[in-house]
Amino acid sequence: MSLEELNYQIYGCRKCRLWYGAKHAVVGEGPLNAKVMLVGQNPGADEDETGRPFVGRAGKYLTKTLAEYGIKREDVFITNIVKHTSPENRKPFPDEIAACLPYLITQISIIKPKIIVLLGASAKETPRLEEIEYIEVIHPSAAMRFTKMNEKFRKQIADLAKRL
């Protein structure tokens, strides 16, 4: 399956309740040959509005921090474990994650990244596939809010940069 075919499926997805309150499905973006895939939780209000992942406050912070360690946002594939926004930006429920997971698994099989960066707790539900390195990282929205978490987040991004 191509990424275009997959995206088409995601745009029409009705497998859980989240599509109902969303303006856009946010499929993700980045080069087909990306070595690194970033997986977040689910789109927030800005992402729902624009249809693009990590473009709000947390996204800008993520993009800026990556750049500080020499990682260009355009070089990585960015997506979320759940492709639709949620009411009041709550954490996705387990059944919502389960319904959406096949899309992420197909994205992984198309992109074939070397490293998958899991941003925050919800992203940890991503299945671990062989021959891919997984790095668990603090979610940028938590890093922005708490000094200690920010220190850890920056160390984790520095560590990611060293592996590239």
56/113 with CB nearer ligand URA:
56
Q: Which of 6, 38, 53, 97 binds ligand URA (CB under 6 A)?
A: 53
* Amino acid at residue number 55: V
- For the chain, strand residue ranges (E) read 36-40, 77-80, 115-119, 133-137
Least separation, in Å, of the C-beta of 37 and ligand URA?
Answer: 13
Write the binding mask 8 to 47 for ligand URA: x where contact by CB under 6 A, - elsewhere: --------------------------------xxxxx--x
Neighbouring-strand partners of residue 118: 39, 136
Q: Give CA separation, 163 vs 36, 122, 136, in Å.
A: 10, 24, 14
Member of 6, 10, 54, 113 binding ligand URA (CB under 6 A): 54
Q: In angstroms, rounded to a whole number, what is the distance separating the alpha carbons of residues 53 and 76? A: 12
Q: Which is nearer to ligand URA, 41 or 65 (CB)?
A: 41
CB 80 within 8 A of CB 22: no
Neighbours of 27 (CB within 10 A): 22
Take residue 121 and report the two structure tokens written for it: 């707790």
Q: In this chain, which stretch among 4-12, 52-60, 66-74, 143-151 interacts with ligand URA, using CB under 6 A?
A: 52-60
Give least dist CB 40 to ligand URA, A: 3
How many residues touch ligand URA under the rule CB under 6 A: the total is 12
Binding characters for ligand URA, 79-118, by CB under 6 A (x = yes): -x--------------------------------------
Burial class (CB within 10 angstroms; exposed 0-12, middle 13-18, buried 19+) of 31: exposed
| Rg (the chain; Cα; Å) | 15
Nearer to ligand URA among residue 9 and residue 50 (C-beta): 50
Q: Which residues bind ligand URA (CB under 6 A)?
A: 40-44, 47, 53-54, 56, 58-59, 80
